[in-house]
Amino acid sequence: MEWIEADTTATVSLWINGEPHSLSIDPRVTLLDALREHLHLTGTKKGCDHGQCGACTVLVNGRRINSCLSLAMAHQGDQVLTIEGVGSPASLHPLQAAFVEHDGFQCGYCTPGQICSAIGMLGEVRDGWPSHVTDDLDHAAGLDGHEVRERMSGNICRCSAYPNIVRAILSCADTDTGELA
């Protein structure tokens, strides 16, 4: 056990979008700031910085989290997937294509978080996790608009593109989008 003294930096090594990275950072640096300010992966957005808006959502070891509420130091050895690793303009992830097709955004600021969150959420559904609106805890069934709204309540869209976000996600509900997560 070693203490990293205040106001000094230390190294954390983690995997971002399949690539190994080592960062020398102050222990205060959040995973969000490590991505944006240190690795210049600015696809992940800072909205509220308090876990309320979901713009900073990334996948860590396959599960969606708010990267703003996590110290980067705590992610030693973890696998982080950001929007840059989800797809590219030449090769859109099915959810990205669906957001385009269904007009699931206006300003687009929340969209990377919405897409990463939706990838994680579809994985949770595949794993049979129930939600607050699931009737039978023992037999979590399929996805509908009601379920999507509940499960995506951690992602705020200030343009209020919600109806089309729900349509875009539902259009992918039967597609296997789990390979990247």
Partner 1 sequence: MIAFDYARVDTVDAAREAQRDRPEARFIAGGTNLLDLMKVDVERPRHVIDISALPLRTVEEADDGGLRIGALVTNADVAAHPLIRSRYPVLSRALLSGATGQLRNKATTAGNLLQRTRCYFFYDTASACNKRQPGSGCDAIGGFNRIMAVLGTSDHCIASHPSDMAVAMRVLDATVETVDSAGGTRTRTLEQLYRLPGNTPHLDNQLEPGELITAVRLPAPLHGRHLYRKVRDRASYAFALVSVGGVVSVQSGRIASAAFAFGGVGAMPWRNREMEAHLIGQTPSAALFAEAADILLADARGHGANDFKIPLLRRTLIACLTELTEGA
Give 75's contacts (C-beta < 8 A, 6+ positions apart).
12, 14, 31, 60
Residue choice 11, 18, 24, 28 for contact with partner 1 (CB under 8 A): 28
79, two tokens:
């696998």
Closest approach of Cβ 124 to partner 1, in Å? 7
CA gap 74, 62 in Å, rounded: 16
Q: For residue 71, give the nearest of 115, 22, 25, 116 by alpha carbon.
A: 25
Please identify which residue in 82, 96, 111, 131 interacts with partner 1, judged by CB under 8 A: 131
The radius of gyration computed from the CA coordinates of the chain, to the nearest angstrom, equals: 17
Q: Which positions from 74 to 93 touch partner 1 by CB under 8 A, shown as an x/- string?
A: x-x-----------------
Q: Which stretch binds partner 1 (CB under 8 A): 82-90, 93-101, 120-128, 157-165?
A: 120-128
Piece in contact with partner 1 (CB under 8 A), picked from 3-11, 39-47, 81-89, 171-179: 3-11
Q: Mark the segment that binds partner 1 (CB under 8 A) among 37-45, 59-67, 98-106, 157-165.
A: 59-67
Count residues binding partner 1 (CB under 8 A): 46
Strand 79-81, strand 63-66: pairing: unpaired
CA distance 56 to 70: 11
At 21, give phi and psi (nearest 5°).
Answer: -135, 140
76: how many CB neighbours lie within 10 A of its CB? 10
Nearest-approach distance from CB 90 to partner 1, in angstroms:
29
Query: Between 97 and 140, whose beta carbon lies closer to partner 1?
Result: 140
Closest to 120 in 3D by CA, of 92, 157, 80, 160: 80
Answer for which of 127, 145, 160, 163 binds partner 1 (CB under 8 A) is 127
Binding site for partner 1 (CB under 8 A): 1-7, 10, 26-28, 30, 49-51, 54, 57, 63-66, 69-71, 73-74, 76, 117, 120-121, 124, 127-132, 134, 137-138, 149-154
